[in-house]
Amino acid sequence: MNLPIFKLEDYLATREFSAPYMFCASDMETHTMSELLAMADEECQQLWNTLDFRYTETTGHPLLRQDISQMYADSITSEHVLCFAGAEEGIFCAAQSLLTPEDHAIVAVPCYQSLAAIPGSLCETTPIHLHPENQWQLDVEEVKRRIRPNTKLILINYPHNPTGTLIDSATQHALVELARANDIYIFSDEVYRLLEVNDQDRLEPIANVYEKGLSLGVMSKSLGLPGLRIGWIATQEKAVLHQCSQMKHYLTICNSAPSEILSMMALRAREQILERNRQLMRTNLRQLEEFFESYADRFEWVRPQGGCTGFPELKMGGMTIDTFADQLLDQEGVVILPASVYDLESNHFRVSFGRSHMPEALSRFQRFVDGL
Ligand SMILES: Cc1ncc(COP(=O)(O)O)c(C=O)c1O
């Protein structure tokens, strides 16, 4: 294996658990155990109270897979769902299952590093660079130009981390048609799905609309339950899931038994959880937007359309975003994520608006900027 240092996780590892204000968290505000247990329906309560600690099924608890499948079209049944330890393991297994050194993959960047690094450790990859001048939008014509005879996989992520942008359904459709015409898989990281700023912008899961589409989902982001470490891939291609499960035998083997039941509780109560989370995200985003409007001489940003992260650019001449981030942390205890962790040389940085303490983090951020 030939993987580079995971810059983003490495950067966060030394800050996330010690700094008071995570102003770049990639997940929504969480819930406590007692809150989650209070949401449980009768069946889940029964499963919880009689739970033991044997190994669980590699593919995931049958009822959990059934609950997950119900978030997709009828063509996706529990047999079209494979559970993983978070989304991360899903990315790893899918790339390992699909790609060989003879293949080629295309990935939109910037992105969550695994989406580029894991394919990149297995075969040649071509990055498609998203640009702020173009509202970070995906150029399907560019994807078309980059396709080679051996292109096997295209990796995308919408709503997008870090920019918070979305593509529209016409673009999704064009991408699917392009992939279909060239017999290419699409791995669609949909961990922020259901957290769109406007509900009508929500895209169909790729697994619904493309027979070679893999939809990546997780409890971590929109639902705010990353500590459960439960993710999944849904796809019409059962053979790919089978290969992924073979890979999983070498990794976590199976999911954590308590997490499976807790995930079922949360998924069955997802409308309640999402309602709270969307409200918090939208309120925070309005506040953030007001800030960037009044500080437009110092920052430029593209308004997010979904997820809980945005990617503004620092426009204060003479200061790099790395220095800015270090001083902000020292003086105010606020963590942001500089573009260098995404291998970008620009002065962009990730901020987030999913946590209840965002207003406090923002006011400290503002105080720091005012003091410069
Ligand atoms: C876009 C994206 N995909 C996947 C992951 C991995 O998620 P998990 O922590 O659930 O494994 C992350 C985590 O930040 C992410 O932002």
* Averaged pLDDT in 10-residue chunks for the chain of 372 residues: 89 94 98 98 98 98 98 98 98 98 98 97 98 97 98 98 98 98 98 98 98 98 98 98 98 98 98 98 98 97 97 93 97 98 96 98 98 94
CATH code of the domain occupying 7-31+271-371: 3.90.1150.10
What is the distance in A from the centroid of ligand 1 to the CA of 88?
Answer: 6
pLDDT, position 17: 93
Q: d(Cα 243, Cα 232) in Å, to the nearest integer?
A: 14
- What is the C-alpha separation between 350 and 127, in angstroms, rounded? 20
In angstroms, the Cα distances linking 215 to 57, 251, 312 are 21, 21, 28
Q: For CA atoms 358, 230, 340, 282, give the dihedral sign.
A: negative
Q: What is the pLDDT of residue 23?
A: 98
Ligand 1 atom nearest residue 27's Cα: 14
Q: Is there an atom of ligand 1 within 6 Å of 306 CB?
A: no
Q: In CATH, what number does 41-269 get?
A: 3.40.640.10
Separation of CA 225 and ligand 1 centre (Å) = 12
d(CA 215, CA 30): 23
Q: What is the pLDDT of residue 318?
A: 86
- Identify the pLDDT of residue 98: 98
- C-alpha atoms less than 13 angstroms from C-alpha of 295 in its C-beta half-sphere: 23
Say yes or no: CB of residue 189 within 6 Å of ligand 1: yes
Q: What is the pTM assigned to this prediction?
A: 0.98
Q: How far is the CA of 87 from the centre of ligand 1 (A)?
A: 6
Residue 317 has a pLDDT of: 83
DSSP assignment string, 155-199? EEESS-TTT-----HHHHHHHHHHHHHHT-EEEEE-TTTT-BSSG
In angstroms, what is the span from residue 91 Cα to ligand 1's centroid?
9
- From the alpha carbon of 309, which atom of ligand 1 is closest? 16
Query: Ligand 1 within 6 A of 226 CB?
Result: yes
In the chain, ranges of CATH 3.90.1150.10 domains: 7-31+271-371
Strand partners, 188: 156, 215
> What is the 12 CA–ligand 1 centroid distance (Å)?
13
Q: Which residues pair with 234 in a beta bridge?
A: 81, 215
> Separation of 221 CA from ligand 1 center, angstroms?
7
Residue 347 to residues 75, 121, 248, 299, 311, Cα–Cα distance (Å): 44, 28, 38, 10, 10
CA distance linking residue 326 with residue 260, whole number of Å: 39
Q: Supply the pLDDT for residue 1.
A: 58
Q: Is the CB of 222 under 6 A from ligand 1?
A: no
Q: Where in the chain is the domain with CATH 3.40.640.10?
A: 41-269
86 lines ligand 1 (CB under 6 A): yes
